[in-house]
Structure 1
Amino acid sequence: MTASAKVINPGDVRTRTEIRAAFGGSPQGGICPSEDMHSVNLYSDPDVGEQAGYYDGWLAEGDELGSVFEYTGAGKSGDQTFDGVAGAGNRAILRHAEQDRVLRVFTRVGKLPGSDTKTHRYLGTFTLDGMEPYVWRRVHGEDGQERSVVVFRLRQEGEVQHAEQDVIPPAEETTAEFVPFRAVTAAMFQSDPATSSALPLPKQRVRKGAAGRKAAPNAETSGTFVVPEAFSTKLSLRAATAATVAVRHEAELTQAYKGFLDSAGHQTGAFQIKVKGLTSTLRTDLYDATDHVLYEAKGSNSREDVRMALGQILDYSRYVKAPGRGEEPKRVILLPAAPTPDMYTLLDRYDVGVVYQSDDGRFVGEAVPKGEQ
């Protein structure tokens, strides 16, 4: 094979043998690291993913940084993990920046004529989103059992193919499923060397020249009660800006208050919300199922953060339904310190409470379980 034959550009269709010649990796598996080629090759198979309860692809709804490609981690049955042999592939994605590797994404398109050799289309190079590298999501596996999967949020690192067929299908129907609290943790965040590494911020902040896309109808929603996951309470991000510090503080605050509620005998979790007609999945910060309280946490008590939290919790609380509870949940904003009196006045207008952490570590607020403040 000549050197020119090894060149693969976004949109090109190749066999895995040809891909390995250009970018390395193993002959099988969905997550294939290559030390020599400084690459982690990610293979997505739409048919397999749908059977396993998930979709990989572009979100139709972008944000201020551009588009996000969601890629579901390794593990077809049971809860996915970052630990041990089962979590090796997921760790390879999480550590790609510190190991000086890029993420290359391929999606299966078919087979070579007259053979069983699969072909894959190259989408391009990516990196993990620096602010939210992954989220935990509850799905129904091919065996019908609920499980937790890790969904990586990828940002384009260079030239990519952004094809319409790679956009995640929008939600088609409304479902509301209550899932009891079940601890699914990534213990490696507390001790693994990966926690001292840095996640890169995307080089290309806004995708230019993107084709316009019709807005999808937004009529119905579904809510699923799931376990909250602090995606990284001690993760050091490359850009130590106020925003990234606030993200870390928010995760730590949420985890601390969750632990406090758990110790008081409360059942805690979160709500996973899918809006009909949209491809993205919303996730609340914390839900106290015992007292029917929805929390939105922020990493600071600034005016900007309080106003953002107010909008989010008013939005999310519309969709939170719990067995035996006809009313919407009590809405509470969780903060690391008390807001200004003026912000209390604003929140009172919308019947939104406040819980904050005092200097001595206690949690203060009307929603805090009685006798525990």
Structure 2
Amino acid sequence: MTTSIEVISPGDVRTRAQIRRAFGGSPQGGICPSGDKGSVNLYSDPDVGEQLGYYDGWLAEEDELGPIFEYTGAGKSGNQTFDGVAGTGNRAILRHAEQGRTLRVFTRVGKVRGSDTKTHRYLGSFTLDSLEPYVWRKVHGEDGVDRNVVVFRLRADGEVRRDETDVIPPAEETGGEFVLFRPVTAALIQAGPVTSGNLPLPSQRARTGRKKRKPAPNAETSGTFVVPEAFGNRLSVRAAAAATVAIRREAELTQAYKDFLESFGHRTGSYQIKVRGLTSTLRVDLYDATAHVLYEAKGSNSREDVRMALGQVLDYSRYVTMEEHEGEPRRVILLPAAPTPDMYSLLERYDVHVVYRSDDGSFVGTAVPLSDTP
């Protein structure tokens, strides 16, 4: 005689003990992988996350593939990592596809009446976004110190519950702040390929109405200078072939030019932007803090990519402010080859410059440094 296991469907509220019987995992912790159940259970506690300066939840903004659920990685203080014991949970999320496991998300909703046993609502099954599985973000840690956290981008993989209370609140105020913090490099988090195998595209998405969650105390339009995460962090993810090739070229190009700038003593990074009214966080490709130059990189010099880069660099540059520099940064599009002459004419109208890589591997453009003096 076999014991039947209760089926848990999106929207159901259960205790962790009940969830473990169905999907396995440990009795505590936020990221709980289970080999025998083929699951990685992700527990989100809104109260804890909001105290630490971040939100897990749905982005109100959608792209062409639909909605994104953001889930912050493991580690309450210090820089989060994929390495060692501290990075065990984050690696379990990153490698869920190659290990044949499904990501399942639960959010805490209360307690069993008359006890301290917590209850969790099941949102459904997910997979990592196939083109951008995670991003690095600066937040204010539990110990009051700014730190880097990994924010996973999850796509619904089947039926999901999308409640209004799970939508990340938009930024309310407009402001800006420059903050430097310790860099995280590719060598620090990647001793080998971080993932292999396909990250499948989501198959179904459920939508419901929404209402605002309480905004974070510092939810405002702001720009923060951040040292770029591993530009190659998306290179080992195999998804739609054409898009993956473009992302790889863009990442390789950006990394090469970043190294080139740093060889001249320039301080380079990225720029993290929160915009009033948006729940998502914007991040530019490359920012030269020494010369006050903002770069938007593309993996090809096609007309479509140049036009997209133009819109992005004009948009982002409005928010990039530095105390040591006056006005907006110089705007530059970084390309793997020279664009067509008519694209040059278009960019000149908006005072946007071009840097491209020539056949011999050198970089060409008016923004390219020619000496050690910026």
Post-superposition shift, 1:259? 1.2
Post-superposition shift, 1:203? 2.3
Cα pair 2:338 2:357 within 8 Å, conserved: yes
Cα pair 2:184 2:227 within 8 Å, conserved: yes
2:224 aligned counterpart, secondary structure: strand
Structure 2 CA distance for aligned equivalents of residues 297 and 185 of structure 1: 19
Equivalent position of 2:216 in the other structure? none
Structure 1 segments unaligned to the other structure (5+ residues): 215-219
Matched, 1:265 2:282: no
Alignment of 1:179-198 (within 5 A): 179-180=179-180, 182-187=182-187, 191-198=191-198
Cα pair 2:170 2:276 within 8 Å, conserved: yes
Equivalent position of 1:34 in the other structure? 34
Cα pair 2:56 2:71 within 8 Å, conserved: yes
Paired AA for residue 271 in structure 2: F
Structure 1 CA distance for aligned equivalents of residues 369 and 113 of structure 2: 65
Paired AA for residue 260 in structure 2: F
Structure 2 CA distance for aligned equivalents of residues 133 and 369 of structure 1: 33
- The alpha-carbon distance between structure 1 residues 105 and 332, as it changes in their structure 2 partners (threshold 3 A), is same
Alignment of 1:185-264 (within 5 A): 185-187=185-187, 191-204=191-204, 207=205, 210-211=208-209, 221-229=221-229, 230=231, 232=233, 234-240=235-241, 242-264=242-264
Cα pair 2:164 2:210 within 8 Å, conserved: no
RMSD of Structure 2 on Structure 1 (CA):
2.0
Matched, 1:56 2:44: no
- The alpha-carbon distance between structure 1 residues 193 and 209, as it changes in their structure 2 partners (threshold 3 A), is closer
Paired AA for residue 371 in structure 1: S
Cα pair 1:81 1:186 within 8 Å, conserved: no
Matched, 1:127 2:127: yes
Alignment of 1:116-195 (within 5 A): 116-180=116-180, 182-187=182-187, 191-195=191-195
Structure 2 CA distance for aligned equivalents of residues 51 and 94 of structure 1: 25
- The alpha-carbon distance between structure 1 residues 22 and 155, as it changes in their structure 2 partners (threshold 3 A), is same
The TM-score normalised by the length of structure 1 is 0.93
Equivalent position of 2:320 in the other structure? 320
Equivalent position of 1:352 in the other structure? 352
Structure 2 CA distance for aligned equivalents of residues 15 and 155 of structure 1: 24
The TM-score normalised by the length of structure 2 is 0.92
Alignment of 1:62-77 (within 5 A): 62-77=62-77
Equivalent position of 1:217 in the other structure? none
- The alpha-carbon distance between structure 1 residues 202 and 18, as it changes in their structure 2 partners (threshold 3 A), is same
Structure 2 CA distance for aligned equivalents of residues 327 and 16 of structure 1: 53
Range moving further from structure 2, 185-194 or 300-309: 185-194
1:235-261 CA-to-partner distances (Å, cap 9, x unmatched) read 141331x22210111111111111111
Equivalent position of 1:338 in the other structure? 338
Post-superposition shift, 1:228? 1.4
Cα pair 1:105 1:126 within 8 Å, conserved: yes
Range moving further from structure 2, 317-326 or 4-13: 4-13
Post-superposition shift, 1:208? 5.8
Alignment of 1:296-315 (within 5 A): 296-315=296-315
Range moving further from structure 2, 149-158 or 227-236: 227-236
Paired AA for residue 255 in structure 1: Q
Cα pair 2:180 2:226 within 8 Å, conserved: yes
- The alpha-carbon distance between structure 1 residues 188 and 77, as it changes in their structure 2 partners (threshold 3 A), is closer
Matched, 1:282 2:282: yes
Post-superposition shift, 1:5? 5.8
Equivalent position of 1:103 in the other structure? 103
Cα pair 1:181 1:268 within 8 Å, conserved: no
Post-superposition shift, 1:197? 3.0
Paired AA for residue 305 in structure 1: D
2:185 aligned counterpart, secondary structure: coil
Paired AA for residue 235 in structure 2: K
- The alpha-carbon distance between structure 1 residues 170 and 104, as it changes in their structure 2 partners (threshold 3 A), is same
Range moving further from structure 2, 152-161 or 247-256: 247-256
- The alpha-carbon distance between structure 1 residues 245 and 161, as it changes in their structure 2 partners (threshold 3 A), is same
Paired AA for residue 62 in structure 2: G
- The alpha-carbon distance between structure 1 residues 233 and 128, as it changes in their structure 2 partners (threshold 3 A), is closer
Cα pair 2:264 2:369 within 8 Å, conserved: yes
1:267-291 CA-to-partner distances (Å, cap 9, x unmatched) read 1111111111210111111100100
Paired AA for residue 156 in structure 1: A
Range moving further from structure 2, 354-363 or 11-20: 354-363
Structure 1 CA distance for aligned equivalents of residues 63 and 235 of structure 2: 25
Structure 2 CA distance for aligned equivalents of residues 366 and 356 of structure 1: 10
2:131 aligned counterpart, secondary structure: coil
Equivalent position of 1:292 in the other structure? 292
Post-superposition shift, 1:112? 1.1
- The alpha-carbon distance between structure 1 residues 163 and 223, as it changes in their structure 2 partners (threshold 3 A), is same
Matched, 1:18 2:7: no
Structure 2 CA distance for aligned equivalents of residues 77 and 329 of structure 1: 33
Range moving further from structure 2, 231-240 or 268-277: 231-240
1:142-198 CA-to-partner distances (Å, cap 9, x unmatched) read 222100000000000011000000000111223322122632124377542444433
Range moving further from structure 2, 68-77 or 220-229: 220-229
Paired AA for residue 226 in structure 1: V
Structure 2 CA distance for aligned equivalents of residues 231 and 17 of structure 1: 39
Equivalent position of 2:215 in the other structure? none
Post-superposition shift, 1:200? 2.1
Post-superposition shift, 1:63? 1.0
Post-superposition shift, 1:341? 1.0
Paired AA for residue 250 in structure 1: E
